Structure 1
Amino acid sequence: MGLTPSDTAGAIALIQDGQSKYYVAGVLGVSRCSIQRAVKRFPETKGCTRRVGSGRKRSTTAHDDHFLTLTILRNRDTTAVRARNELREVRGVAVSEQTVRKRLEEHGLSARTLAHCLLLTREHRVVRLLIAHEHRNWGIEEWGRILFTDESRFCLRSPDGRQRVWRGTGERVAQCNFVPGISFGGGSIMVWGGISMEAHTELVVVNGGAMTANRYIRDILEPHVVPLAPFIANDSILKHDNARTHIAQIVNEYLDTVEIHHMIRPARSTDLNPIEHVWDMVGRRVKNRTPAPANLRDVSAAVIQECQEIDQTVIQDLFEGMPRRMEALIQARGGNTRLMSF
């Protein structure tokens, strides 16, 4: 057992007082070699602590680390075990998978959950980039004229597979640790809503069948969009996606008749619609409710209540962030941005 700093200090003091190394070793109950090393180390360290060693030799060289990094960058879903095996087969270096992870972390790489986004074709990217350039110089005054609308679906049970449970050893198959499998999330509701800089529409729960063009006019545009449009701006603009219901000729003719300008959001461009953040916010709040909704009627009531409780300043912040969205889209050259959802 080595000398502690206090033992070393005592040994140095005794030797400086003229005591022999044999005597000091006997007093402290250690070997003479330990005392001799402590005395020799004292002038080097200028203290009673041990000299910092060089540590264990690294099991990989800089070339090995570079090989691991390239292996991961060439195939991002490669596991640490697979990278370890390739290092052993190609360079003859045997290390643990934990060492592989450490080397990758040293180069700024760490394993994370795969991000999901919408598949964008070249045509999608071109259209998205064109939209971003057209609106790049828009300020809050221009964005304040827009009424963003969209539909969203809310399930009774979230099918995301990320639910966790506390359990002890051997309790994996205990009945209390099972979650019953429910087809299609136990059912869902479809809602429609719209947001603007100054106000938002009432939330509409779409019940009973598909949304046709005639129904879109009767249940959505007439009672909710037309009354709100003049309040937003004299030249307000309705922005909805390119669903067949929205771009039907009868819908376009109706909007022209009531003198409401309208724009079509490009396909696969949820990051261009700030209402997606509202849906995400509502979904998290409903999911965190205690007690959780027991049926679709509870889900409907919860979604409506949570939408009503969203402060308008939150929506205004989303509108103020639209210029940053355009810049992010330009930086991505029309590709996916961090605001993309599906």
Structure 2
Amino acid sequence: MTLRRRWKEQNFSCRRPLKKPKLTPAMRLKRLEFAKKYKHWTVEDWHKVCFSDESSIQILQDHTQFVRRRPNEKFKEDCIVERVKHPLSIMIWGVISAKGNGRLYIVEKTMRQDQYIKVLSEKLIPQTSEWFPNKDFLFMHDSAPS
């Protein structure tokens, strides 16, 4: 019996691994400190928080793919995956809270100080005014724990 059959009997199959952020010891410590600082908070406390962050999204990024082929089919069109050398990317900013998701904002190139001030005044303030009309909320932006 082959190894492949044994794996199949044991319900193993070939799959892509899950991905997770790579955290440095400093990032882990920062997250632990955050958790300890807010561990006493109630659900009601968290309902008064909104979080924001920006992120770069790659379009046409490479990702692991599998094909089933015979040894002599390496160059067959159906067995080749195209890739771009320098994928296009865009930077976006967004805000969320227990009340919902805010609208995404596309950032031009990188988030500079003047752009950040513009985003806060034109995107964040109107959104938080809708979510928290009495202005009773806490804003946690991306310099909060990673």
Deviation at 1:143, TM superposition (A): 0.9
Q: Does 1:184 align with 2:83?
A: no
| From 41, 59, 70, the counterpart of 1:138 | 41
Within-5 A mapping of 1:120-131? 120-121=24-25, 123-131=26-34
| From 238, 245, 260, the counterpart of 2:139 | 238
Compared with structure 1, are the counterparts of its residues 168 and 124 closer, same or farther at alpha carbon in structure 2 (3 Å cutoff)?
closer
Deviation at 1:212, TM superposition (A): 0.9
Letter in 2 for 1:183: K
Paired with 1:181 and 1:124, the residues of 2 have a C-alpha distance of: 32
Q: Which residue of 1 aligns with 2:22?
A: 118
Paired with 1:136 and 1:161, the residues of 2 have a C-alpha distance of: 38
Q: Secondary structure at the match of 2:140?
A: strand
Deviation at 1:183, TM superposition (A): 1.4
* Contact in 2 for aligned 1:192/1:205 (Cα 8 Å): yes
Deviation at 1:132, TM superposition (A): 0.7
Larger relative contact order (Cα-Cα within 8 Å, sequence gap ≥ 6): 2
Q: Secondary structure at the match of 1:191?
A: strand
Paired with 1:114 and 1:228, the residues of 2 have a C-alpha distance of: 33
Within-5 A mapping of 1:129-278? 129-162=32-65, 164-168=66-70, 170-185=72-87, 187-207=88-108, 209-218=109-118, 220-233=119-132, 234-242=135-143, 265-266=144-145, 269=146
Paired with 1:166 and 1:117, the residues of 2 have a C-alpha distance of: 30
Greater percentage in strand: 2
1:191-222 deviation digits (Å, cap 9, x = unpaired): 11111111322111123x3221111111x111
Compared with structure 1, are the counterparts of its residues 156 and 132 closer, same or farther at alpha carbon in structure 2 (3 Å cutoff)?
same
Deviation at 1:151, TM superposition (A): 1.4
Paired with 1:147 and 1:217, the residues of 2 have a C-alpha distance of: 17
- Greater radius of gyration (CA): 1
Q: What TM-score results when the alignment is normalised by the length of structure 1?
A: 0.35
* Contact in 2 for aligned 1:230/1:236 (Cα 8 Å): no
1:197-255 deviation digits (Å, cap 9, x = unpaired): 11322111123x3221111111x11111112223333221211112xxxxxxxxxxxxx
Q: Secondary structure at the match of 1:193?
A: strand
RMSD: 2.8
Compared with structure 1, are the counterparts of its residues 215 and 132 closer, same or farther at alpha carbon in structure 2 (3 Å cutoff)?
same
Paired with 1:114 and 1:146, the residues of 2 have a C-alpha distance of: 29
Letter in 2 for 1:188: S
Number of residue-to-residue matches in the alignment: 135
Q: Secondary structure at the match of 1:147?
A: strand
Paired with 2:18 and 2:124, the residues of 1 have a C-alpha distance of: 38
Letter in 1 for 2:82: P
Gaps of 5+ in 2: none
* Contact in 1 for aligned 2:62/2:83 (Cα 8 Å): no
Compared with structure 1, are the counterparts of its residues 160 and 126 closer, same or farther at alpha carbon in structure 2 (3 Å cutoff)?
same
Letter in 2 for 1:170: N
Compared with structure 1, are the counterparts of its residues 171 and 191 closer, same or farther at alpha carbon in structure 2 (3 Å cutoff)?
same
Deviation at 1:133, TM superposition (A): 1.4
* Contact in 2 for aligned 1:145/1:232 (Cα 8 Å): no
Gaps of 5+ in 1: 1-96, 106-110, 243-264, 270-342
Compared with structure 1, are the counterparts of its residues 115 and 138 closer, same or farther at alpha carbon in structure 2 (3 Å cutoff)?
same
